[in-house]
Amino acid sequence: MIMKWTRTIALLAITGTIAGCSSASEQDIQAVSGVNDAETIYKQKCVSCHAIDLQGRAGPNLQKVGAKYTQDELFGVISEGKGGMPSFEKRLSEEQIDALAVWLASKK
């Protein structure tokens, strides 16, 4: 029993370290892509359905979308579309979709 707990705590410590690292590097990426840029694109292409404060209108609320999807999954949803969500593959560059995915991934 004691052995088990020790292992669980050790595992938790390791997981915590990894999680800490990855969120730090996400912030680095975000700084490089330029948050303002993503917000500008959002204002032009997404506001009509998701509202200026991400609260949602025709589309769902995106205020906590970063807790639901990873950055890669967000890239997929924006580029390929999903249900009533249009595909932006041909309307935005890969860099622009990536900037949006990074930005939305931080909404938790």
* 85 lies in the site for ligand HEC, by CB under 6 A: yes
When binding is defined by CB under 6 A, the residue of 29, 37, 39, 49 that contacts ligand HEC is 49
**SS3 for 89?**
coil
Query: Nearest residue by C-beta to ligand HEC?
Result: 83
d(CA 47, CA 40): 10
Smallest CA-to-CA distance from 45 within 13, 78, 12, 5 is with: 78
d(CA 63, CA 74): 13
When binding is defined by CB under 6 A, the residue of 99, 100, 102, 105 that contacts ligand HEC is 100
d(CA 30, CA 47): 21
The token duo for 56 is 């949602």
* 76 lies in the site for ligand HEC, by CB under 6 A: no
Query: Smallest gap, in angstroms, from Cβ of residue 64 to ligand HEC?
Result: 9
Given the rule CB under 6 A, which residues bind ligand HEC?
A: 45-46, 48-50, 58-60, 62, 65, 68, 74, 77-78, 82-86, 88, 100, 104
